[in-house]
Homo-oligomer: A and B are copies of this chain.
Amino acid sequence: MEVFPGKILIVDDEPDIVEFISYNLKSKGYLIAAAKDGVEAIRKAKDFRPDLILLDIMMPNKDGIETIRELRAMHEFDDTAIIFLTALNDEKYEIEGLKIGADDFISKPIKPELLATRIGSALRRFRKDEEQEQKQTFGDLEINKTKFTVSYKGVDILLAKKEFELLCLLASKPGRVFLRNEILQRVWGTDVIVGDRTIDVHIRKIRQKVGIDLITTVKGVGYKFEMS
């Protein structure tokens, strides 16, 4: 197992299909995770961080179209390729899916070789430079998503996971105000329901730990990231 080609999340409600695809891709060295419906898919995507998602359209509990819409809405997965699995001749979905942000389609029944080449080319198209780390700097502040670290003037600051995610979100568009609502959806996900004060508490912790005032409150609206 020398180079590893990528991580793939398979989403389908039929265990047989998941098993079949999973087996095929594993043999090619991919790392696999699976989900059985849209809700689970989004949750798993958040912590598995796949390079590509194979998404069945027909599913209970949030269908493929809706799932892809949500995934694309939180911009966390902008670098993730998404391939739809469709029943044969399901063109109406294809057009729909393309508009929303699918990158390719594969019709069932699935042929292993076809699957492999399509996945390969989708990944190549999307390949972020896996080699180099994803980091952003703002003046003396550095946020490194690969290392999960934040440092200020070279000194590391230890943030908890939620704090880190929240900071990443705000820092993804410096200056832009994120509504409280939006923050909840993007950091906590659509299913989880937490009180409003929770955000404040995390914001406070970030401010406290970082020391300087990175995050500006926009009263009645939300928060934004801004270097003074």
Contacts and interface: CB of A to CB of B under 8 A. Distances in A.
Interface of A: 1-4, 7, 26, 31-33, 47-49, 91, 94-95, 98, 104-105, 113-114, 117, 120-121, 124-125, 128-129, 131-133, 144, 146-149, 160-161, 175-177, 179, 181-182, 185-186, 190-191, 218-221, 224
Contact of A221 (B98, B113, B161): B161
A221 B148 contact: yes
B129 A114 contact: yes
**Copy total for this chain:** 2
Given A117-B132, A185-B31, A47 B179 contact: yes
A109 B8 CA distance: 28
Nearest to A222: B148
Contact of A124 (B32, B48, B104, B132): B104
Given A117-B98, A128-B2, A48 B160 contact: no
A1 B186 contact: yes
A117 B131 contact: yes
A148 B124 contact: no
Contacts of A161: 218-221
Given A31-B186, A186-B4, A219 B120 contact: no
A55 B211 CA distance: 46
A49 B149 CA distance: 32
A147 B131 contact: no
Contact of A176 (B147, B160, B224): B147
Contacts of A175: 133, 144, 146-147, 149
Contacts of A176: 133, 146-147
Contacts of A190: 26, 31-32
A147 B117 contact: no
Given A31-B182, A125-B3, A182-B31, A147 B177 contact: yes
Contact of A95 (B117, B149, B219): B117
